[in-house]
Chain A
Amino acid sequence: MHEASIAASLIEIVIDTAEKNKAEKVTKVFVKIGRLAAIEIDSLEFAYDAIKEEYEIIKDSEIIIEDVPITGKCQKCGVTDTYEEMFFACGACGAFEVELLTGEELTITEIEVD
């Protein structure tokens, strides 16, 4: 389970950004996690909430995770689709040449500070 090390990396970026912006408190942290990022969202929330207690500046912050679906565009027929499964055959023509548009995100987008 690597959610703890992901949370630790995230918190490092959050604190660093907050300090650079002379913020006193971080209230919200906005994160995007693609379905292909191999992250269990509940575990990431749990890990974030556990580690945040150690830092005054983020102690009262809330992590808000956007669960990004997998979307892709077929390189053969051009159809854009959402993939529930991670088996990427185009739903329209069956080709495997699907270019991913979203689903690999493991990013922090913004933070709300006081």
Chain B
Amino acid sequence: MGMVDVKAKILEKNYSKAAVLRDKFKNTCVLNFVSSPGSGKTSILEKVLVMFKDKYKLAVVEGDQQTTNDADRIEATGVTAYQVNTGRACHLEATDVEKAMAELGYDLDLLIIENVGNLVCPSQFDLGEDAKVIVLSTTEGDDKPIKYPVMFRVGSSFIINKTDLLPYVEFDVDKCIGYAKGVNPELEVFQASCKTGEGLEEIAAYIEGMIAKKKNA
């Protein structure tokens, strides 16, 4: 009988795979979009990426448990997309991105990863990204940032989507932003509507800024 010291991160393997990816993404800005199911991740990407797609080499990795619907929607806008079906898994892992990149190639200015709709599990799986972009829609309740604080802690930016629905739902934008900043004061916050187009240009500018930042790093 004896004790063996281990002192390892349980997700060590995922971290080391993500580190390898991060190394290969030296010139590629990588954004990991996370949200509950249906907050509007794909809608935002459909509307925003077309604003600058001709200026950059870009691609989208779509993670869903099933179907290629989201990749098909992105492809329809003229942007390359690769669908990963995770089956029962509720999040993408670094190994999924590795497989996608074997198809897409690393010669990209921007890679967007749309994670599986889930505000819990993807928070623990590093994908080699530069930033996690959290999307929350106004139909989900303004207290989500304190209900799912783990994700809000590891996020870099936060988009409140479906602002066109504000007149019809109980959602206090200021309160929501206050909660989010309480969990993570560094969060950069955006408000958007894919219906009216409000705020989408700001998101495009943010992404282009991230691309430039990566290039100059």
Residues of chain A touching chain B, judged by Cβ–Cβ distance below 8 Å, are 1-2, 5-6, 9-10, 12-14, 17-18, 21, 23, 27, 31, 36-38, 85-89, 96-97, 106-114
| Interface assignment of B19: CB less than 8 Å from any CB of chain A | no
A2–B2 CB distance below 8 A = no
Given the known inter-chain contacts A85-B146, A106-B124, please indicate yes or no for A31 contacting B10, CB distance below 8 A: yes
Query: A96 contacts which chain B residues (CB < 8 A)?
Result: 181-182, 185
Q: For residue B10, which residues in chain A have a CB less than 8 angstroms away from its CB?
A: 6, 9-10, 13, 31, 106-108
Which of A5, A6, A111 sits near B4, CB closer than 8 Å? A111
B90 close to chain A: CB less than 8 A: yes
Q: Decide if B217 is an interface residue (CB 8 Å cutoff).
A: no
Whether B7 pairs with A6 at a CB distance below 8 angstroms is no
B150/A89 in contact, CB under 8 A: no
Give the CA-CA distance A112 to B4 in the complex, in Å: 6
Given contacts A110-B5, A110-B6, A112-B2, contact A13 B12 (CB under 8 A): yes
CA distance A68 to B121 in the complex (A): 19
Residues B124 and A89 in contact, CB atoms below 8 Å apart = no
Residues of B near A87 (CB, < 8 A) are: 146, 149, 179, 182-183
Could you say which residues of chain B place their CB within 8 Å of the CB of A106?
Answer: 9-11, 124
- Please name the residue on chain B nearest to A2 by beta carbon: B121
- B83, CB-defined interface residue at 8 Å: no
Contact present for A38 and B120 (CB under 8 Å): yes
Q: Is the CB of A9 within 8 A of B3?
A: no
**How far is the CB of A61 from the nearest CB of chain B, in Å?**
12
Give the shortest distance, in Å, between A17 (CB) and chain B (any CB). Answer: 5
Contact status B89-A2, CB under 8 Å: yes
- Cβ of B102 within 8 Å of any chain A Cβ, yes or no, is no
- Which chain B positions have C-beta within 8 A of A2? 89-91, 120-121, 124-125
B9 CB contact (under 8 Å) in A27, A107, A112: A107
* Distance of A88 Cα from B180 Cα, bound (Å): 10
Which A residues are CB-close (under 8 A) to B2? 112-113
Flag whether B13 is at the interface (Cβ < 8 A): yes
Report yes or no: B183 in contact with A88, Cβ–Cβ below 8 A.
yes
The reply to whether B4 and A9 form a contact with Cβ atoms under 8 Å apart is no
Kindly supply a per-residue 1/0 record for chain B positions 27-70, scoring 1 wherever the CB is within 8 Å of any chain A CB and 0 otherwise: 00000000000000000000000000000000000000000000
A-B contacts besides A5-B89, A38-B123, A87-B149, 19 pairs, CB < 8 Å:
A2-B90, A5-B93, A6-B10, A36-B149, A36-B150, A38-B150, A85-B146, A86-B146, A87-B146, A87-B182, A88-B182, A97-B185, A106-B10, A107-B7, A107-B8, A107-B10, A111-B4, A112-B2, A113-B1
